[in-house]
Amino acid sequence: MSATSVKEARARGEADAAKARLMSTVEEVKERLAPAKLTSDAVQAVKDKSIVMADDTVTAVKDKPAMAAGIATATALFIARKPLFAAVSRWWNKDSSDSDTQHTNNTRARQTAGATEEI
């Protein structure tokens, strides 16, 4: 073999090796970017993060239970604000209408008592 053919053979061998490495890399990238793989990785990341957040929340509640109770109460009141407001409004209106009725009854009683005194 001549020096040129040895160089050609070596170059072809290097080119084939480079081509094999490139094809291997392309296959790895295809596997990494497959939609199912991306979805699976994203779901696992969310699960891991939610576990960490839940653990942090439990630790915070154990450290400051009064603050946690206050936040829970404020949240419950915020969520139930419309029914609570309606109940208080009904109670308030009922209470004021009872006092108006009592005032009217007292006025009528005085008027009746005054009418009997005149006779």
pLDDT tens-digit profile of 95-107? 666 555 565 666 6
What pLDDT is stored for residue 97 in this prediction? 62
pTM: 0.44
CB 88 within 8 A of CB 95: no
Helix residue ranges per DSSP H, the chain = 3-32, 35-63, 65-79, 81-118
